[in-house]
Chain A
Amino acid sequence: MSKTTIVVGLDGSEAGARALAFAKNQANQIGDCTIAICYVIEWSPFTFQTPEENEQRHKRREEELNLAHERVLDPAVKDTEAAGHDVVGIVQHGDAADILDAVAKKHNASQIVVGRVGARGLKERVFGGVTGRLAASASVPVTIIP
């Protein structure tokens, strides 16, 4: 177990990749540091579903988890490990801001690094994007990579 942990939020985008690169750099400077790479599948328990969607939900969840591992998380974990870092890979369903903070608390992390996601839709402009909400609610320092 390392002295400290940096939590990195990945979303498969360029900005996420830059966030991971930044975290690697930080970890090198700290020396004894774990990188927790986190991919969140946006999901809420409070949506309205049809019976058929409910029936298929378990299957879909497995597919989503497999896809996230295959496309984003596993390659990132492999690269980071190859670079000589101590890595934890996490995929979870839920609200990205909540989960990144929960992971940070669980691993006793010293900071969270995320890529900046531009405010795309009306909803994000009104309520703020993931990065904005994370910055506003996180319990550890947050670094936002442009």
Chain B
Amino acid sequence: MNKLFGTGLAATALSLPTLAAAQDAVSLDQRVNDIFAGSTGWFVNLIFMNLPGTNFPWIVLWLVVAASIFTIYFGFIQLRAFGHAISLVRGDYSDPNDAGEVSHFQALTTALSGTVGLGNIAGVAVAVGIGGPGATFWMILAGLLGMASKFTECTLGVKYRNEYADGSVSGGPMYYMTKGFKERGIPGGAFLAVVFAIFTIGGALGGGNMFQANQAHAQITQITGDFSGLITGVIFAAVVFMVIVGGIKSIAQVTEKVVPFMGILYVLAALVILIVNADQIGWAFGQIFAGAFTGLGVAGGFVGALIQGFKRAAFSNEAGVGSAAIAHSAVRTKEPVTEGVVSLLEPFIDTVVICTMTALVITISGTLVMDPATGNFILNEAGTSIQTVDGVSGVALTSAAFATGFSWFPYVLALAVILFAFSTMISWSYYGLKAWTYLFGEGKTKELIFKLIFCFFIIVGAAANLGAVIDFSDAMIFAMAVVNITALYFLMPIVKREMNSYFARLKSGEIVKHGH
């Protein structure tokens, strides 16, 4: 893997002078792309390989099966502990003497800002565009199941984090792999941790960085017209640099405040559109349920809807990937289970609420073309996805759907995409940094090196059209899930013990609410 990663660095280093000399960019981009695809293509193909005889990627099945096993093993924790999760976030169980520490609410929103983003806006449009409204049903189901995966990984993340003498903490799958495996007397924990850390760095630079920069630039050019991605990249990199290297808190604080606001605005706009079209909601849900099992003439039929729904949910909420375990580790709770319980709200908010809103708006907006005679959707000429008004797909489809309600919404959406991309980058720069320091040790210089590499990759991501690089980094994020879920299977008895002890004490009244 180190070799591959080295190739990635070399490839991007090659591409920079090219970007400056805009004229040659196309050919050199292409060359970099070819070299990269040649050396990493096997890895991408391996991760996204379809199950024999189907077009169902095994990695999606891996995530869904794990989520189902955790759901059953922990006795439908996502349903049983849902109310308790909300209580915890409200601070009902927070000890007033701990006031000033990171609250459950803060940990939840920090982790959420890393997952809410392009997946909810563009990913859902892709799913509905290909799989039809029925994909939404499978997406919701996958989101509900994914709550159990998050519970498992975040509980472990807090339980096995490192606390340092200066009071700061470092946590995440790397730490529960090493410490947890040791505790259970299982070999191989340290090896898994190193592999996981390498994949995390790849995922942070790719899906958490280049992909975001690339999509943000695409969204900006849709409004302003085409201009060099180098400009977007340099601006983004400069702002991220100021935050993560310069320590300019104010920018991050502004973003962290604006991002939730954009999220709320997005959901509100969707709600208004749904309320205005209230008479169609029943019909839309009918489409979702009928489409989930029959396909209603979409590409790939019912299996197509299922694959798209599962795939997009997994891409969007990152349950089982292990990233959230890093984000949640900062909470200084005495009970690791509380953090796991809080984290199960993430896939719920991300997938069950926000993604479903997007899907409903697209379905109701009428941007998907239907055959009035049969009530089935009409496929495009290639037969790969549903025909849309103006032939749009991805972010543009979401944008067009919202524009049927509010003509000005595409501008807001563009701003939202940019801000979501920015906050996702900040979150992933942190995940990547934690993996980096796990591999190379903590230290100012070592951290600075990673942060500089991270900023450099923003420029690369925005400026270059490196499809292969982005495929590779997507594959890295899912490779994280392969390693992480393997570890979760070995460690889930520990989580169960913690869970039973916590809920027994909650029931017996040993753990009580604090008055306000």
Q: Give the residues in chain B near A43, CB-CB below 8 Å.
A: 99-100
CB atoms of B103 and A55 under 8 A apart: no
Q: Does B257 contact A (CB under 8 A)?
A: yes
Contact yes or no, A58 B94, CB < 8 A: no
Q: Does B427 contact A (CB under 8 A)?
A: yes
How many Å from the CB of B378 to the closest CB on chain A? 43
Q: Are B430 and A51 in contact (CB under 8 A)?
A: yes
Report yes or no: A48 in contact with B106, Cβ–Cβ below 8 A. yes
By a CB distance below 8 angstroms, the chain A residues around B260 are 48
Query: What are the interface flags for B82-96 relative to A under an 8 Å C-beta threshold, 1 for contact and 0 otherwise?
Result: 000000000100101
Which of A46, A51, A64 is B100 in contact with, Cβ under 8 Å? A64
Contact B169 A55 (CB under 8 A): yes
Interface majority SS (helix, strand, loop, mixed), chain B:
helix
- Pick the contact of A58: B91, B99, B101, B107 (CB < 8 A): B101
Q: How many Å lie between the Cα of A64 and that of B100 in the bound state? A: 9
Interface residue tally for chain B (C-beta within 8 Å): 40
Check: B279 CB closer than 8 A to any chain A CB. no
Q: Are A41 and B106 in contact (CB under 8 A)?
A: no
Give B249-287 interface residues, CB cut-off 8 Å to A. 249, 252-253, 256-257, 259-260
Contact present for B330 and A54 (CB under 8 Å)? yes
A127 CA / B265 CA spacing, docked (Å)? 23
B315-337 Cβ-contact flags toward A at 8 Å (1 or 0) = 00000000000110011100000
- Determine if A59 is an interface residue (Cβ-Cβ < 8 Å): yes
- Determine if B110 and A51 form an interchain contact, defined as CB atoms under 8 angstroms apart: yes
Inside 8 A of B327's CB, which chain A residues have their CB?
A: 51, 54
Residues of chain B lying within 8 A (CB to CB) of residue A29: none
Give the chain B neighbours of A46 by CB distance below 8 A: 103, 105-106
B109 within 8 A of A: yes
Contacts of A52 in B (CB 8 A): 244, 252, 430
Q: Which residues of B contact A58 (CB under 8 A)?
A: 101-102, 167-169, 332
Are B101 and A92 interface neighbours, CB within 8 A?
no
Q: Does A84 contact B (CB under 8 A)?
A: no
Complex formed: what's the CA distance from A24 to B169 in Å? 43
Q: Interface size bucket, A side?
A: 20 to 34
Does the CB pair A48–B103 fall under 8 Å? no
Contact B102 A57 (CB under 8 A): yes
Q: Is the CB of B101 within 8 A of A57?
A: yes
B113 at interface (Cβ–Cβ under 8 A)?
A: yes
Known: A41-B100, A61-B101. A54 touches B107 (CB 8 A): yes
B170 at the interface (CB under 8 A from A): yes
Cα distance, A141 to B114, chains bound together (Å): 47
Closest chain B CB from A66 CB (angstroms): 12
Query: Across the two chains, which residue of chain A brings its CB closest to B111?
Result: A51
Do B99 and A50 touch across chains, with their CB atoms under 8 A apart? no
Question: Are B101's CB and A53's CB within 8 A?
Answer: no
Cβ of A137 to closest chain B Cβ, rounded Å:
12
- From known contacts A48-B113, A58-B169, infer whether A94 and B99 are also in contact, taking CB-CB under 8 Å: yes
Contact bitstring A73-102, B, C-beta under 8 A = 1, else 0:
000000000000000000011100010001
Q: Which of B32-49 contact A (CB under 8 A)?
A: none
Name the distance in Å between B172's Cβ and chain A's nearest Cβ. Answer: 11
Q: Determine whether B166 belongs to the interface, using a CB cutoff of 8 Å to chain A.
A: yes
* From A47, A55, A64, A92, contact of B170 by CB (8 A): A55
Contact A50 B430 (CB under 8 A): yes
Q: A48-B260, A50-B110 are in contact. Are A92 and B252 (CB under 8 A)?
A: no
In the complex, what residues of B have CB within 8 A of residue A48's CB? 106, 109-110, 113, 253, 256-257, 259-260
In the complex, what residues of B have CB within 8 A of residue A93's CB? 99-100
Q: B residues within 8 A CB of A65? A: 100
Flag whether B426 is at the interface (Cβ < 8 A).
yes
> What is the CA–CA distance of A59 and B102 in the complex, to the nearest angstrom?
11
**Binary interface profile of A, 22-63, with partner B (CB < 8 Å = 1, else 0)?**
000000000000000000010101111111111111110110
- Knowing A48-B256, A49-B256, A59-B167, the reply to whether A54 touches B100 (Cβ < 8 A) is no
Measured in the bound complex, the distance between the Cα atoms of B109 and A45 in whole Å is 11
Q: A48-B106, A51-B330, A51-B430 are in contact. Are A92 and B166 (CB under 8 A)?
A: no
| Chain B residue, CB-CB nearest to A65 | B100
B106 cross-chain contacts in A, Cβ below 8 A: 45-49, 54
Chain B positions within 8 Å of A62 at CB level: 167
| Contact indicator B426/A50 (Cβ below 8 Å) | yes
CB pair B102 A49 closer than 8 Å: yes
> A53 to B430, alpha carbons, bound, how many Å?
11
Residues of B within 8 A of A64 (CB): 100
Chain B residues whose CB sits within 8 angstroms of the CB of A41 once the complex forms: 100
Given contacts A43-B99, A48-B257, A62-B167, are A53 and B252 in contact (CB under 8 A)? yes
CA distance A87 to B106 in the complex (A): 35
A50 contacts across to B, CB distance below 8 A: 110, 243, 249, 252-253, 256, 426-427, 430
Query: What residue in chain B is nearest A44 (Cβ atoms)?
Result: B103
Most buried by B among A48, A55, A64: A48
Q: Which residue of A lies closest to B97 (CB)?
A: A92
A61 to B516, CA, bound (A): 21
Nearest Cβ distance between residue A41 and chain B, in whole angstroms?
A: 7
B516 contact set on A, CB distance < 8 A: 98
- Which residues of the other chain, A, contact B430 by a CB distance below 8 angstroms? 50-52, 55
Shortest Cβ distance from B99 into chain A, in angstroms? 4
A79 to chain B, nearest CB (A): 26
Closest chain B CB from A38 CB (angstroms):
13
Q: Could you tell me if A55 and B100 are in contact, using CB atoms closer than 8 angstroms? A: no
Residues in A with CB closer than 8 Å to B109 are 48-49
Q: Can you list 6 contacts pairing A with B, beta carbon distance less than 8 Å?
A: A41-B100, A43-B99, A45-B94, A48-B257, A55-B330, A92-B96
Return the 7 tightest CB-CB contacts between A and B, nearest first: A93-B100, A45-B103, A54-B330, A48-B256, A51-B430, A59-B167, A93-B99
8 A-B pairs besides A53-B249, A102-B96 with CB distance below 8 A are: A41-B100, A45-B91, A45-B104, A47-B257, A51-B114, A51-B426, A51-B430, A54-B327
